Amino acid sequence: EIVMTQSPATLSVSPGERATLSCRASQSVGTNLAWYQQKPGQAPRLLISGASTRATGIPVRFSGSGSGTEFTLTISSLQSEDFAVYFCQQYKDWPPMYTFGQGTKLEIK
């Protein structure tokens, strides 16, 4: 099983500032990496797939980078609606054991 580790667990950032979230895989997943956003009481929403491709309707302030075992989600200028929990997910494994990271909570500073 590929273990995904996200850091930090909680990130405090001011609106308008940049946020950088990290995700590390226990073994290489290539670019088979997705990022999801989850707000309280809602289902997660896909932000990024293929490590760097924004999903439909996702604002350009969200960007993903990385490959292999190290990945980053960057939100360039935080808006109030961006404060949420973010999860990374690898989807390299076959059979499909698509493991998630434990999440990073992005909170208002």
Q: Any idea of the CA torsion for 51, 57, 61, 64, to the nearest 10 degrees?
A: 0
Which stretch in 13-21, 59-67, 71-79, 97-105 sits in contact with another protein by CB under 8 A? 97-105
CA pair distance 66, 16, nearest whole angstrom = 24
Cβ proximity to another protein: between 43 and 60 the closer is: 43
Interface with another protein, residue 46, by CB under 8 A: yes
CA pair distance 46, 58, nearest whole angstrom = 9
Which of 21, 34, 51, 84 binds another protein (CB under 8 A)? It is 34
The DSSP code for 12 is E
Rule CB under 8 A: which residues touch another protein? 32, 34, 36, 43-46, 49, 55, 87, 89, 91, 95-103
